[in-house]
Each structure stands twice: as structure tokens, then as C-alpha cells.
Structure 1
Amino acid sequence: MNAPKHRPAGVHLLADFHGVAGALLVSPESIDTLLRNAALAAGATILHSHFHSFGPQQGVTGVLLLAESHISIHTWPEFGFAAADIFMCGRAAPSLALEVIERALQPGQREIKTIQRGVPAFQDE
């Protein structure tokens, strides 16, 4: 019996958070913990993470690698802005990860774009 094929389809959420308290956007350790909690809430499998601070009270960039894809973030505390990417396939629920991140950052304003990935416009079955 052949194993079922894993389809490359997934949901990619692009989130812009404005009006975030700058203090929430400067600690790579705190942001790592936040994204890990978001991934677990979504039912994703964490493989590895790497976060980089650009200096005291400066922004952070980082990525959480998942078996289901990734969550990445880039922060600008001086502007109260964070940009997050949440891309997941399989049974993981990226919207649940988004809820955890948004609840923690409490943005004054947000913009979310949802992109379906890996699904061709014309599919031959």
C-alpha cells in the first residue's frame, strides 16, 4: 500500500501590528517564547528557532521553524510596529497562532492578509 502524498497546500498569514508597546518588541527571549506558545496553540511541531536582537531597546528579527513550515517576526520598537509571517500546512491552525501573538502584543491596529499556498489555479485530479 502506498503512503498518502503530502500536499504542499497551506495557509500563509501576513500580519502587520501597529501601536504595540515598544517594550514588548525588544527581547529576543520573550519573542521566542511568544512564538513557541503560538505554534503550540496552533498544533504545530517546533523544530528550531533563531532570534537576533539589533541591540538594547532595538528591534528583533527571528524565525521559528516548524514541521508544518514557519513563523517569523520582525520588530521596530521605535515605531511600535511588528510584522509577522505565519505559514502552516497540514492540520496546524495558523489562525490560532495569530490569536496568541495578537493577544500578547495588543496592537492598536492590525492588518492581516491571508494567502492560500500550494493550490494551483487549475488543478488536475
Structure 2
Amino acid sequence: MELFGFGPHLMIDGYHAASEKLEDAALLEDILRDLPRAIDMTVVLPPAVTEYQGLTEDDSGYTGVVIIAESHIAIHTFPRRGFVSVDIFSCKEFDAQHALNYLVEKLDIGRYDTHFINRGKEFPKDLSVVEKILSGEREYLAARLA
């Protein structure tokens, strides 16, 4: 199903993840190399993963990113907290559930929250759809302000 706007943005907050996996730079690089293929995206720059030192040990971890033709995928880990944050942003539709399942399995995520939005709702892929959305929002706002 083609959605409006520029494209989907899936945000995942993973809790109770396996700390040893969150501090495995090679695993994170493998994920960033394999996940784009798993959701039919095109890697244009190889994955980059780097360790970072936070103000405390609990806030230290790894950050990784892969640039895809469709936008990017980023992972930020906090191994001592068992927390991982992932963003998948694309200009084309993708199977968000498949991406979530892949990450839950690879990182042994115990619990997660997700947020899914369509970005750039006025991006002119199909102007008739944009006009309907904006017209509806304007009618709603006019009624609320009246």
C-alpha cells in the first residue's frame, strides 16, 4: 500500500536486550549490512560502527549507521542498560514488522516500544492525496477554532 508523503520512519526503543550483543561491534555491523537487504533497500555506503564513551559507563555504548539509497538506518546501544534505539527511515515502503522481528531476534530484545510515522506529508508524490489530507486537517482545525 502506497502511503502519502516522503516515506515511513520506524523508531524502535528496545529494553532488556542482551548486553553482550549490544557491545558487539561486529554483530552491529553485520546487522547494518544485512537488514537493508532483508527489507529490500540498497546500501550506498558501508556500515560504520563506533564505540563512544558517555559521561558514565552506563551511558557508554556503540553507534552505527548505514546509508541506503532510500535514506538511512541507525542503531544506538547502551549495553549496561540493556537498551537499544533504532531508526529506519526510507523514501519507500518497507515491511516494518519484518524489520522489528529481525532486530528483536538478533539483539535478544526483551521488550520494545515502536513509533511509526510518515514523514514529509506534503511531499508531492501524489498531489491529489496531499490535497485531501491537508483539506481534512484544515476543516478539523477550523471546526475546533470556531
Distance 1:17 1:87 in 2: 17
5+ residue gaps, structure 1: 1-6
Q: Give 1:30's aligned residue.
A: 27
Contact 1:10 1:89 survives alignment (8 Å): yes
Runs of 4+ deviating beyond 6 Å:
none
Aligned-pair distance for 1:75?
0.3
Distance 1:94 1:88 in 2: 11
TM-score by length of 2: 0.71
What amino acid is aligned across from residue 70 of structure 2 in structure 1? Answer: E
5+ residue gaps, structure 2: 54-59, 123-128, 133-146
Q: Give 1:52's aligned residue.
A: 50
**Range with greater deviation from structure 2 (82-91 or 38-47):** 82-91
How is 1:55-70 mapped onto 2 (pairs within 5 angstroms)?
Answer: 59-70=61-72
TM-score by length of 1: 0.82
Q: Which has more radius of gyration?
A: 2
Q: Give 1:110's aligned residue.
A: 112
User: How many aligned positions are there?
Assistant: 117
What amino acid is aligned across from residue 69 of structure 1 in structure 2? Answer: S
Higher normalized helix content (fraction of residues): 2
2:94 equivalent to 1:97? no
What amino acid is aligned across from residue 52 of structure 2 in structure 1? Answer: F
- Root-mean-square deviation over aligned CA pairs: 2.3
2:77 equivalent to 1:80? no
Aligned residues: percent identity?
31
SS of the equivalent of 2:85 reads strand
CA 94–35 in structure 1, closer or farther in 2 if over 3 Å, else same: farther
Distance 2:92 2:118 in 1: 13
